[in-house]
Structure 1
């Protein structure tokens, strides 16, 4: 697979990697995430303590030790709910490394990802994040990551939407993928998805 944007090469795996993402609502919706590998080791975390401590249009992804890996920030003003990603904590006004916006595809919840400084590298996210069922495709239409409902292996019961799986294909940066998850969480509600300013009920993913 063609090399993707690398936020941190420590999160690129030679084999398929399955992560468990836990959404933690501390005080308000979208407050935080913790991400674990199959051994229960913490991989990523996102902490926020309400709207007064951080702009709600900005979310920072950290590793297990609290090091800032990536900052995703809403672009204002913008159409199609455009968000941009910055390396690190985003405090030094660097240029963004990628942008994310909704695509106008009738009957499908689709999101376009453009990587700056790397011509030809782009991604499409299709499906329904609110229902935890969507896939990330590269420019060659190959799946590089998937978001799925998590099933308890001991009881075969589908868990709630606050716990879901992020499946990374070999060679795709997990930090970049998790940055896209954060943006999807900010732009997609659990019960409705927004399409060009109109709330519509989500449809089942293909």
Structure 2
């Protein structure tokens, strides 16, 4: 039986025009291997804490739900404010840490840095920075922002989160153009029977690094006390 993937109306109404806009954007933050020439829909399922230590897995529904990525958080790593993104073989691709320290203490944002592992896994390169606004009257309604720091990108780009991740109703948008590069949603029939949002999908536009997108989602999951915090 074929299922239809439904994008939440609240987000769709705001971004419908931008989603259909043509773009030659190529953003190989982690690597071109993770940039598809066509749009792709991947499914996220939270792992139970008691069995797998929390975190989540990402699968491809068009390939019999073959695992694409895995994310480990506190339950596996034994560390707070740190998440690791791995590929289907368990190879580490990204480690994302909360920066903290004196600089953050006086900042209006909580900062998370994403580091890419090299081929040997022995060193790491800063590839993106995510800034989460602290609760403040000065920061009211400020979005979560992501800045690319990868040398692999031809030009640095800034993105922001539009919508509300805990509702699985949000998008990653290029800040300067408003173009949606990835969209989080819940299939209609799933939303009717699962209220805890443990199963959702992510639509990723052509040319966008899928590993980067799920690195961002891993941080959002942690910020909002998701499966990576267990």
TM-score scaled by structure 2? 0.71
Match in the other structure for 2:148: 115
Gaps of 5+ in 2: 1-23
Q: Identify the match of residue 3 of structure 1 among 5, 12, 26.
A: 26
Structure with the larger helix share: 2
Q: Distance in 1 between matches of 2:181 and 2:199?
A: 20
Match in the other structure for 1:102: 132
Structure with the larger strand share: 1
Tell me, what secondary structure is at the counterpart of 1:96?
Answer: strand
Cα distance per residue 1:65-123 (max 9 Å; x no partner): 1011111111112242210100028x756442110012565346x11111125654111
**Residues 150 and 159, structure 1, Cα contact 8 Å, conserved in 2:** no
Q: Distance in 2 between matches of 1:120 and 1:159?
A: 39
RMSD: 2.8
Gaps of 5+ in 1: 191-206
Tell me, what secondary structure is at the counterpart of 2:110?
Answer: coil
Instruction: Find the structure with the greater CA-based Rg.
Output: 2
CA shift in 2, pair 1:105/1:141, >3 Å: farther
**Moved segments of 4+, more than 6 Å:** none
CA shift in 2, pair 1:8/1:101, >3 Å: same
Q: What is the deviation of 1:20?
A: 0.5
Q: Distance in 2 between matches of 1:182 and 1:49?
A: 12
**Residues 74 and 80, structure 2, Cα contact 8 Å, conserved in 1:** no
TM-score scaled by structure 1? 0.78
Q: Identify the match of residue 56 of structure 2 among 17, 23, 33.
A: 33
Residue-pair matches, total: 186
Match in the other structure for 1:84: 113
Higher-RCO chain (CA-CA 8 Å, sequence separation at least 6): 2
